[in-house]
């Protein structure tokens, strides 16, 4: 049976996911077979495995750090919020049903044996399992049915490290208070704490660390400074949305939809030195970008209404008239069409709604959900911003409800040539006749540096700027170097020898 360690937090967004990824890479560097595990993940960022199963992206980048193939065993339960205190419940990579929070709280009892079996299966294949909790370790009102934090630690018989975020303030109280609220048998599982996102001089903090250790009776295993290592974020409370865009040669603005999903599709742009990215938040207007993007969403019709009600639709149309590039991914692609129909009320009470109308497509939502990895070849002789991109092959995955039918005023962007490693041949995506509005169902399409750099250079050419080569050869290579940087950084600031000791 494998060794394990579990990171639990004093709250959401304290940095558990990044720390877990760093530990995965450290243990892998030290010669062990490693896998991440998070029993229950609530996020709209998801991924499709080679088997066509859906899981949270946090465990995907942790698997990348561990240099192992991501599988749904690493994230058996994924909850995708859909509004009105409801969420889509995904177990073992497949949708079970839409549940209210109250119904799911009752349903969790049925999942304990499933989680035990899955964890034992994953443990049998690896030397070390790096586990991650969800939210706070001390949700006392939910503790009787907890399967994400101490409840999962009990199932796995795992030692626990509590992570606190000093950047938000009150770190001593949050750590001590979290441990105070644990039951006695749970306190015995806590073998140490990590103070994360520190800004300042450590020597001025040493007395505080000693005082905290005297109170909680477990060691502080490290004070980790704030860092800008480029590892993808797990959820929508990420600080990237608060960043103000610095003007660059190419300016991209992404509409931050209320139910936005898979914003990691755009992490690639941060590797390109001539690109700046800004997320257009609630109450803000779109500026004068070269590219405006409508991302994926868990609730296409509701988010389309949001765009319309906040005046963003007219701004997007005006940018398109001025020749700017408008891109829609998945739900954003559906919004750019002429009509969206929901005959089975998959998304809610609205049965039909007009789209933005920049692409001659109509979308019909269906009961079934498409979840698949795909490979696509871009069509020849596409107009506008897609020129010279013909025959390029891109890879990614699809997660969507519904299908889109292309009309006469729009041509397909490419053809799917592989689906879950099987050869196929059918149309994918679309582009308008002017070549400045395009849509696709493929998440991760921009991860191909060659494709993305050519697209950006077409934008540069339209602006009268010289073409640039990417300093990053491949996105996978870039991420791999960042995981190594993260491992080196954590080795410097954490007591890794003590963590090995805790694991036994």
Q: Which of 87, 126, 259, 330 is catalytic?
A: 330
- Give Cα separations from 488 to 19, 127, 478 (angstroms): 12, 21, 16
Packing angle of the helix pair 475-493, 57-66 (nearest 10 deg): 80
The answer to whether 295 touches 260, Cβ cutoff 8 Å, is yes
What are the residues whose beta carbons fall under 8 Å from the beta carbon of 495, sequence distance 6 or more? 219, 221, 222
From the CA atom positions of the chain, what is the Rg in Å? 23
What is the full DSSP assignment across 250-298?
EEEEEE--TTEE-GGGGGGGGG-TTEEEEEE-TT------SEEEE-EES
Residue 69 dihedral angles phi and psi, to the nearest 5° = -70, 130
Chain centroid offset of residue 293 CA: 17
> Whole-angstrom Cα distance, residue 86 to residue 48?
22
Active site residue 85: no
> Whole-angstrom Cα distance, residue 130 to residue 127?
10
Residue 441 dihedral angles phi and psi, to the nearest 5° = -90, -5
Strand blocks (E) in 10-85 = 34-37, 40-42, 46-48, 54-56, 77-83
Active site residue 87: no
Chain centroid offset of residue 383 CA: 32
Q: Which of 126, 259, 400, 443 is catalytic?
A: 443
Residues 163-176 as b/e (b if ≥16 CB within 10 A, e otherwise) read bbbbeeeebbebbb
> Whole-angstrom Cα distance, residue 382 to residue 97?
41
Beta bridge partner(s), residue 372: 398
| CA dihedral (61, 19, 479, 390) positive or negative | positive
The answer to whether 57 touches 80, Cβ cutoff 8 Å, is no
> Whole-angstrom Cα distance, residue 236 to residue 454?
29
Phi-psi region of 123 (alpha: psi -120 to 50; beta: other; left: phi over 0): alpha
19 DSSP assignment? H
Q: Tell the residue number behind the tokens 């090995």, with chain if given.
A: 500
Structure tokens at 97: 């049903």
Active-site amino acid positions: 330, 443
């Amino acid at each position: 049976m494998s060794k394990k360690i579990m990171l639990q937090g004093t709250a959401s967004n304290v940095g558990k996911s990044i720390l877990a990824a760093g530990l995965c890479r450290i243990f892998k560097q030290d010669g062990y077979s490693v896998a991440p595990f998070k029993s229950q993940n609530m996020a709209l960022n998801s991924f499709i495995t080679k088997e066509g199963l859906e899981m949270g992206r946090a465990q995907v980048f942790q698997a990348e750090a561990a240099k192992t193939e991501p599988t749904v065993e690493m994230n058996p339960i994924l909850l995708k919020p859909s509004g009105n205190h409801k969420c889509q419940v995904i177990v073992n990579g497949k949708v079970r049903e839409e549940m209210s929070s109250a119904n799911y709280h009752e349903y969790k009892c049925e999942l304990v044996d499933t989680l035990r079996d899955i964890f034992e299966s994953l443990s049998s294949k690896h030397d070390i399992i790096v586990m991650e909790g969800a939210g706070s370790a001390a949700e006392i009102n939910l503790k009787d049915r907890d399967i994400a934090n101490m409840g999962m630690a009990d199932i796995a018989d795992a030692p626990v490290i509590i992570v606190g975020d000093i950047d938000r303030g009150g770190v001593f109280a949050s750590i001590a208070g979290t441990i105070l609220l644990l039951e006695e048998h749970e306190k015995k599982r806590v073998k140490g704490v990590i103070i994360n996102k520190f800004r300042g001089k450590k020597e001025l903090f040493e007395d505080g660390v000693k005082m905290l250790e005297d109170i909680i009776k477990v060691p502080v295993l490290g004070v980790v400074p704030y860092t800008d290592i480029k590892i993808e974020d797990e959820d929508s409370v990420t600080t990237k949305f608060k960043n103000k865009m610095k003007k660059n040669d190419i300016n991209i603005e992404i509409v931050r939809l209320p139910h936005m999903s898979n914003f990691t599709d755009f992490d690639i742009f941060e590797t390109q030195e001539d690109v700046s990215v800004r997320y257009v938040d609630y109450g803000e207007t779109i500026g004068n970008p070269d590219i405006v993007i409508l991302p994926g969403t868990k609730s296409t019709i509701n988010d389309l209404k949001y765009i319309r009600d906040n005046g963003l639709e007219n701004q997007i149309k005006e940018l398109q008239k001025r020749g700017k590039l408008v891109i829609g991914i998945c739900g954003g692609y559906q919004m750019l069409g002429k009509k969206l129909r929901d005959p089975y009320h998959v998304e809610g009470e609205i049965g039909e709604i007009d789209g933005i109308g920049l692409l001659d497509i109509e979308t019909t939502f269906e009961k079934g959900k498409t979840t698949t990895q795909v490979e696509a070849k871009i069509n020849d002789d596409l107009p506008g911003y897609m020129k010279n991109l013909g025959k390029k092959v891109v890879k990614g995955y699809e997660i969507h409800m519904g299908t889109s039918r292309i009309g006469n005023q729009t041509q397909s962007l490419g053809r799917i040539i592989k689906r879950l490693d099987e050869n196929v041949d059918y149309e994918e995506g679309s582009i308008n006749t002017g070549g400045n509005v395009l849509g696709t169902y493929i998440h991760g399409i921009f991860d191909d540096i060659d494709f993305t750099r050519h697209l950006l250079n077409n934008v540069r050419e339209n602006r009268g700027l010289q073409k640039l080569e990417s300093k990053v050869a491949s996105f996978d290579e870039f991420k791999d170097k960042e995981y190594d940087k993260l491992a080196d950084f954590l080795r410097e600031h954490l007591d890794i020898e003590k963590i090995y000791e805790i694991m036994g």
